[in-house]
Amino acid sequence: MQEEYSHLTERQLESEQVFNGRLLDVRRDRVRLPDGNECLREYVRHQGAVVVIAELADERLLFVRQYRYPLRRPFLELPAGKIDAGEELLVTGRRELLEETGYLASSWRHLGVMHPCVGYSDERIEIYLARGLTRAAEQTPDSNEFLDLLSLPLGDALAAVQSGAITDAKTITALFWAEKVMRANW
C-alpha cells in the first residue's frame, strides 16, 4: 500500500502547534513532497466523532436543529458528537444520543466511517444505526448547546436534501448509508 502510492506520499519533516484553543488544535507541518520539494501543510487535529441514525419504531429518524455559529444559521442534522479521550465508539454513540435526544437504543450497528474535511482536518466520523429506541429522559445537552428535537421519515429527509433544507455533509453521508441499509439491504 505505502509502496504503491509512494509517488503521492508526503513525509513530515517538522510539526508545530500554531493554535491551541478550547476546541481547535491547529498544526503547521513542514513536509517533503513526492518530487523532493518542501511545502507547509496547515490542519486541525480532531479527536473524531460519532453520528447516529436513530430509527424510531414507526421508521421516522431523529434529527436535531442546532445553530452553527461558523455559518450563522441553524442546521438540521442527525445527532452527533465528539469522542471523549479514550472513549469506546459505542459509548460515545449512546452518550450523544441520550444527551441530544433523551433516547436509549437497544440495537446498535456500525455502518462505516467518513472523513468530513480531508484537506485541513484529520477528523473522522463513525456512522452508527441505532434501533429499538425508548425515550428515557429529557435532553441534557452541554451547557453551551441548544437543540430542537424532531423526527422525519427517511423519504422526507431525502427530499430535504434535494430542496437544500439539509446541507450538512455528515448528515447527507449518513442518510446515504441509511437509505442503502433500509431500502437496498446493504
Which residues are CB-contacts of 119 (< 8 A; sequence separation ≥ 6)?
A: none
Our finding on whether 165 is near its own copies (CB under 8 A) is: no
Instruction: Find the radius of gyration of the CA atoms of the chain.
Output: 19
**What are the residues facing 86 on neighbouring strands?**
none
Residue with cell 484529520: 122
| Cβ count within 10 A of residue 23 | 7
> CA 82, CA 29: separation in Å to the nearest integer?
24
Which residues from 12-31 bind its own copies, rule CB under 8 A?
18-19, 21-24, 26, 28-29, 31
Instruction: Pick one of 13, 14, 39, 136: the residue that binds its own copies (CB under 8 A).
Output: 39
Q: Residue 40, interface with its own copies (CB under 8 A)? A: yes
Tell whether residue 95 is a contact of its own copies (CB under 8 A). Answer: no
Closest CB 72 distance from its own copies, rounded Å: 8
Cell numbers that stand for 90 in this block: 459505542
Binding to its own copies in span 109-148, by CB under 8 A: 112-125, 143-144, 146-148
Do the beta carbons of residue 125 and residue 80 sit within 8 Å?
A: yes
Q: Which residues bind its own copies (CB under 8 A)?
A: 5, 7-10, 18-19, 21-24, 26, 28-29, 31, 33-35, 37, 39-45, 65-71, 74-75, 77, 112-125, 143-144, 146-148, 158, 161-162, 164, 167-170, 172-173, 175-176, 180, 186
